[in-house]
Amino acid sequence: MSIDARCKEQRPTADRMAVAFKSTAPGSKQQAQALMTLSFLVGMWADFLSDEARRMDKALALETCGSAVTCGESLDNSPQHN
């Protein structure tokens, strides 16, 4: 899922959370629930961005190597592996 798609998916939840937080009494059950929802959404973004970073690292490694054979040959011919 793209960042844009994830934003669109979470927008209604974030909007409901903001309204619930602003329109209820400080310290109310609704505010506590809104903060728990916020915490959950932030955690989802952390997981998503971590996965995205791993995916990009793999893509960059493939781009740098060109192909698995080329990477394997360059590693096998390096002084530290001989």
Ordered DSSP codes for 1-64 = --HHHHHHHHHHHHHHHHHHHHTS-TT-HHHHHHHHHHHHHHHHHHHHHHHHHHHHHHHHHHHH
- pLDDT at residue 75 tops 60: no
Residue scoring higher pLDDT (30 or 72): 30
Q: Where are the domains of the chain?
A: 3-81
- Residues 11-62: tens digit of each pLDDT: 998 898 889 888 999 999 989 998 998 899 899 899 989 998 998 998 888 8
**Confidence (pTM):** 0.58
